[in-house]
Every structure is written in structure tokens, then in C-alpha cells.
Amino acid sequence: MNLISVQIPWRDGGLYMQQIIEQLEEKRKAAILGGGQHRIDIQHGRGKLTARERIDLLLDEGSFEEWDAFVEHRCTDFGMADKKIPGDGVVTGYGTVNGRVVFVFSQDFTVFGGSLSEAHAEKICKVMNQAMKVGAPIIGLNDSGGARIQEGVASLGGYADVFQLNVLASGVVPQISVIMGPCAGGAVYSPAMTDFIFMVKDSSYMFVTGPDVVKTVTHEEVTAEELGGAMTHSTVSGVCDRAYENDVETLLMVRRFINYLPANNREKPPYRPTPDRANRMEMSLDTLIPDNPNMPYDMKELIYKVADDNEFWELQPEHAQNIIIGFARMDGYSVGVVANQPKVLAGCLDIKSSIKAGRFVRFCDAFNIPILTFVDVPGFMPGTAQEYGGIIKHGAKLLFAYAEATVPKITVITRKAYGGAYDVMSSKHLRGDVNLAWPSAEIAVMGPKGAVEIIFRSDIGDEVKIADRTEQYRLKFANPFIAGSRGYIDDVIAPHATRKRVCRSLAMLREKQLDNPWRKHDNIPL
């Protein structure tokens, strides 16, 4: 069979291809320039980075693979047909953070104020869908003026499409929102459904209705910063997990933070080798608890001293400070830490602390991260404000979260564990795997003095008798040995051995298998 060579005239030997490549480069330059140099200068003048500069800082150098750089909006109303910029106000794609794949979208405030159009939303949805397929975290860098008004309901539909994927991705891959500019109206609900929110002080804010609307409707005078700034949400509302000084610090902290998280719900917690020995003794812990049971101490000292390399990544440190949450490593593996803080409200559980810890416990359970709980809790906060605010249902959120969690759960009671709060804080009754107590632990229905005043009501007024009976009650009941005799405490340990015992327990539980009964989903008391 004869093969006939056919010469196809490729327009002067590749000239045509060269022209196409040149057009491609021109289009790419336009996409990179975004809203133009003037708007970039304005962005820099506000102390903010551009969308692409943020991605370059967040991801490993040279790892970013951009998608949909040439996408443009399809709106023809209000003169928009003549205002098209490649990328349409959001940069999307994937790359790596410390070698691990992540998907990212970064809204570009220089293009139509970062407003969300139908095409803009489609770009975000595409990377979210792909992240779920491959099992990689999603990081959203938010800097947007909200829905693009010129597109009307189409932009609202775009928001709803993003919301739906936030829900579907929840518990499948970690979702992190970084608020680096305005985020108002319907736009706030996407970050609200993600796992963690980081904000930039003085340049980012979140609110459902802005200051002008608030003034019109309620006659309240409030600034954007007061209404929804980083400090408001990191201290008062608890919407924000951490707030940092500027764009650079925020993005570098997100790079560090993601090292604690698995890529998806099928992975084990990440491991990082450490020179810190698992059997290290910390003798100073033997004197952490004051002799006076009513004296406070700092629970963070315990957390830092037992964690690998004395490192602890605290979340919401300025909100609901009577409970501490965050990530640490034990023998190289990530763990979620929940601890009562005796320095604040004596470590009582209240509405805000229950919500704060409950959501964190559910995140850890969704992503296979063991939960380490340090307990020093005298009970739930009393008072009309708590009861009227729904402490019953809100407190049940934390109870529910611990009870449904199937990950390894290790509990260390350092001092007080009274009443229902003892049950709630990952007790043996809520399927705690290893429950340990220090010799100073007081496990009882209530504090000795309160118990004596109920049991010996007739002695009230006789201070000597009450004091004597209180001390007798303390010696007999306010200790870990009665709970230990019932098997509710697995062992009473020396404080200095806490790290060793926790690390050994985690190693034993590494292949733990526990499944809840089948159900479509639970019905947590929201």
C-alpha cells in the first residue's frame, strides 16, 4: 500500500499559530491586569493586596494552575455589553500549600468591585466541585461588593449555587474563608457555612445589612467597623476564628493553619515528625493546681506544656474565653483540644462557650481528628440571662456533639467536674475512650459547700458545723476515687505524666472503629 504525503499549507509555516499565541498572550495580560493599573494602585493604597498577589502568597511558589482566566460575563443590560474584563472579577484554580493540593478562589475588587455575577459564581462552583471530586481543601479569599446589581436575579441565583455547594462540601473537605475586604448581604452566608473564617483587621468586614440600612430601620448610628469588623466578629459575635493585622500576616497564618487539617474526610490527621519525646515528663504540672479549690489557674499552661514542641493553635481566643478550643500535635499527630478555662467565669459552661466548643467538636469528628478534653468545670452558668437565652438547648449542642462523635476521645479531669457539666465534657458515659483524672479531681453532683447546705439544711447559720461538714464531704466525695470505683475513670494519674499517658492512649486508639446507627442525618438542637 502506497502512502501519499500530503502537504497542508499552514499559513506561511506557523505564522498563523504565532498570531494565535500572540492573541492568547494579550488576552492573558488583560486578565492579569484585572481592572487596570489605576484600580490596582487604589487597592494598594488601602493597604490591600490584589487577588493574584494574595494567591501568590498563599500557595507554594510556582504551583498555581489557573482555570477560567478568559471567562466573561454575559450581561448586556445597562451598558455592560461594552464592559467585559477576562476573568470577571474572580481568580480560580488550584495549587499546593506545603506540597499539599488545595483549591482556591480569590475575588478581585479591581474588577466591578469584586461583585458576583452569574459567570463569576460558575467559576467558584467549578473549583468547589473539583475539590470534592479529588478530596482537597477549598480556600476562598473574599473581597467583594456583593451581588452585581446589573444582572439582577441571575447574580442571586449564582449565590444560591455557591451556598448549595458549601452545604454539600461540608464534612467532605475542609472549607476556609478568608475575609480580606467587604463581605455584605447574601455574600456573608457562604463564609458562614464554611469551617473556619479568618479576617483582616481594619480592612475587612461582614454584615447582613450595612450601617446605612441599620440607621434607616433601627435609627442606630454605627460604623462598618463597629457593626461587622474583624474585632467585632472575633470578640463579640464569634463569627470569626482569628483576626490578623494585614493581608500578608493573614495569608501566612492560613498556610500554617492548614497543616493541622487532613485534606478530606477519608484521610487520617496529618503527621509531622517531632523531636519532642512522647514520654516526656513535665514536672511543673504537679504544682499547677492551687491548694485553694476556688483559686483560678491558666488551663493554657497545661495545654502548651503537654503539646508537641509546646505549640498550640488556638481558635476564637477572644470569644467565649471560659472555654478554649484549637489544634495541637501529640506525638506528631493533629488533635483537637477542648478545655475549660478556670481563669474566666470559673470555667462555667454558658451559651456562647457551648456553641463555640460544640461546632469545633463536630468539625474534628467529621475529619477524623481525635479530641483531647481537659476538664475543670463547676457547672453551667446560672441566671435569667442564660435561661432566657436558651442555655438548655445551646448547652445540649455541646452534649450532642460529644455524644455523636466517633473519633478517639481522651478526657483529663484536672480539678472540678460537677453536675451535668461533668457528663457533657466527654465523660465515659458519652463513649469517652480513655478518661483520666488528676489526684486533685473533684467529681460530684455539685460543689461540697452547696451539697452540704442542701443535705444539712438545718445547720445553716452554724458556720463551724457547715465548714466541718463541707470538709468531710470534700474528703469523702470530692475526689476521683468514687468515679474510679465505678469505672467512670480509667486511671488516676500524676499530672507530670499527662503527656505520656495521652500519647500512649492516642497510639492505642489510632485504628479505632465505631459507627453510629444508620440515619439520613441527625437533628442536633440548633
DSSP class of residue 382?
P
- Number of residues written out for the chain: 526
Q: Which pLDDT belongs to residue 140?
A: 98
For residue 474, is pLDDT > 90? no
Which residues, 6 or more positions from 242, have their beta carbon under 8 angstroms from its beta carbon? 198, 199, 234, 253, 315, 316, 317
Catalytic site residue from 332, 389, 419, 420: 420
195 within 8 A of 172, measured Cβ to Cβ:
no
pLDDT bucket at 516, cuts 50 / 70 / 90: very high
pLDDT bucket at 400, cuts 50 / 70 / 90: very high
Cα(73)–Cα(444) distance, rounded to whole angstroms?
Answer: 64
pLDDT bucket at 9, cuts 50 / 70 / 90: low
For residue 408, is pLDDT > 70? yes
Section 296-305 average pLDDT:
98
Angle between helices 51-58 and 247-257 (to 10 degrees): 40
For residue 3, is pLDDT > 80? no
- Residue 417, sorted as left (phi over 0), alpha (psi -120 to 50) or beta, turns out to be beta
Q: Which pLDDT belongs to residue 223?
A: 93
DSSP class of residue 233?
I
Asked, colleague to colleague, whether 17-260 and 283-441+481-508 share their fold, the answer is yes
Q: Which residue has the cell 444539712?
A: 456
Q: Which pLDDT belongs to residue 336?
A: 98
Alpha carbon distances (Å) from 327 to 256, 266, 315, 337 = 12, 19, 8, 6
Q: Which pLDDT belongs to residue 493?
A: 97
Section 368-393 average pLDDT:
97
pLDDT bucket at 1, cuts 50 / 70 / 90: very low
For residue 8, is pLDDT > 70? no
pLDDT bucket at 13, cuts 50 / 70 / 90: low
| Fold (topology level) of 17-260 | 2-enoyl-CoA Hydratase; Chain A, domain 1 (3.90.226)
Q: Which residue has the cell 493553635?
A: 313
34-71: per-residue pLDDT in tens?
788 989 999 999 999 999 999 999 999 999 999 999 88
Q: Which pLDDT belongs to residue 465?
A: 78
Section 213-235 average pLDDT:
94
433 within 8 A of 335, measured Cβ to Cβ:
no
C-alpha cell at 64: 498555581
Which residues, 6 or more positions from 515, have their beta carbon under 8 angstroms from its beta carbon? 406
Enumerate the domain spans of the chain. Answer: 17-260, 283-441+481-508, 448-478
Residue 95 annotated among the catalytic residues of the structure = no
The strand pairing partners of 244, in sequence order, are 200
Does the 283-441+481-508 domain belong in CATH 3.20.20.60? no
DSSP class of residue 237?
I
> Rounded mean pLDDT of the chain?
92
**Residue closest to 274 by CA, chosen among 301, 300, 306:** 306
Helix (H/G/I), strand (E/B), else coil: 161: helix
Paired sense of beta strands 100-107 and 90-97, if any: antiparallel
For residue 19, is pLDDT > 90? no
Q: Which pLDDT belongs to residue 12?
A: 56
Catalytic site residue from 31, 121, 320, 421: 421
Lowest mean pLDDT among 11-15, 52-56, 290-294, 369-373: 11-15
Catalytic site residue from 135, 171, 186, 484: 186
Question: Rg of the Cα trace of the chain?
Answer: 28
**Residue closest to 115 by CA, chosen among 180, 187, 45, 49:** 187
For residue 7, is pLDDT > 70? no
Q: Which pLDDT belongs to residue 468?
A: 82
Angle between helices 463-477 and 448-455 (to 10 degrees): 120
Paired sense of beta strands 434-437 and 409-418, if any: parallel
Cα(454)–Cα(384) distance, rounded to whole angstroms?
Answer: 22
Catalytic site residue from 35, 145, 158, 185: 185
Residue 421 annotated among the catalytic residues of the structure = yes
Residue 186 annotated among the catalytic residues of the structure = yes
146 within 8 A of 117, measured Cβ to Cβ:
no
Q: Which pLDDT belongs to residue 280?
A: 97
pLDDT bucket at 475, cuts 50 / 70 / 90: confident
Residue 420 annotated among the catalytic residues of the structure = yes
